[in-house]
């Protein structure tokens, strides 16, 4: 019974909207500022712009979002399209072998990117002059993963410096894997709304998410001389805590 109720709430947000709006379509004067007379929201995620300015790796954990919300009293129904990517490069990750005159390094690269659609609800809470919300979304998406590795061979020269040296046996020791995947999951959001004017607000929001990746086996392409990708290409669960969204929203 509990599991049925959970899926009803998660994947049918209009059920909650209908039940809730029958009792409380409009907030009382003591709890609702004048801004709630504008009940449609359009917004974008500004966090990628701040990521470029503040992060040494500006493309790490990029999340581009466009969203729409509809106010139903103390509840907002919300829908969003998202693009997420996270390239990771580990140059000179670790030496795989060494001697008095040479070192072999492994270089690795990994990247995933996907699009998803999210739909859910958020409940509005007021504390003094501030507004907060707690929300949950269902997630459906599709994306691609790519990983690779290669090796570089270095020899010590006459003055003690290491220089790249072409060694076909070592330099050609490389591998890669790519596959497409489907995504199903949920996210939770904890946010604070800052009203910049009657029609514009800035939302600061932490959005941890849990996804289950379902690999499309027909898309699997692998070249792996060292067997490093033996555990890749399988379905798996993924939990991410670190997404902090800065949403600029226009109300009308």
* pLDDT number for residue 196: 92
* pLDDT number for residue 246: 94
Question: What average pLDDT score do residues 97-123 get?
Answer: 87
- Looking only at the bridges linking them, the beta strands covering 200-206 and 40-45 are unpaired
* pLDDT number for residue 91: 54
Question: What average pLDDT score do residues 97-126 get?
Answer: 88
Report the distance separating Cα 54 and Cα 202, nearest Å. 19
Write down the pTM of the prediction.
0.75
Lowest mean pLDDT among 2-16, 87-101, 151-165, 206-220: 2-16
pLDDT tens digit sequence for 77-108: 999 999 998 777 665 566 777 777 888 888 88
* pLDDT number for residue 53: 75
Residue 160 has a CB neighbour count (10 Å cut-off) of 6
Tokens 């609800």 locate to 121
């Amino acid at each position: 019974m509990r599991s049925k109720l959970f899926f009803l709430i998660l994947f049918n947000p209009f059920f909650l909207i209908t039940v809730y709006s029958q009792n409380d379509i409009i907030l009382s004067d003591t709890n609702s500022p004048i801004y709630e007379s504008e009940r449609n929201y359009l917004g974008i995620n500004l966090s990628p712009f701040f990521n470029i300015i503040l992060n040494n790796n500006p493309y790490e954990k990029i999340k581009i979002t466009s969203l729409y919300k509809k106010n139903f009293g103390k509840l907002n129904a919300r829908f969003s399209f998202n693009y997420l990517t996270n390239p990771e490069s580990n140059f000179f990750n670790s030496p795989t072998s060494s001697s008095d005159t040479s070192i072999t390094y492994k270089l690795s690269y990994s990247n995933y990117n996907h699009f998803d659609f999210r739909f859910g609800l958020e409940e509005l809470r007021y504390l003094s002059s501030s507004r907060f919300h707690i929300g949950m979304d269902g997630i459906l998406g599709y994306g691609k993963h790519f990983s690779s590795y290669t090796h570089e061979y270095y020899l010590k020269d006459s003055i003690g410096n290491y220089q790249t040296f072409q060694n076909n046996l070592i330099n050609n020791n490389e591998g890669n894997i790519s596959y497409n995947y489907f995504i199903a999951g949920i996210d939770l959001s904890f946010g604070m709304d800052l009203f910049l004017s009657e029609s514009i607000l800035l939302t600061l929001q932490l959005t941890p998410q849990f996804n289950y990746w379902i690999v499309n086996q027909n898309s699997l392409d692998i070249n792996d001389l060292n067997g490093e990708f033996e555990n890749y290409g399988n379905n798996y669960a993924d939990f991410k805590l670190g997404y902090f969204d800065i949403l600029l929203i226009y109300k009308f």
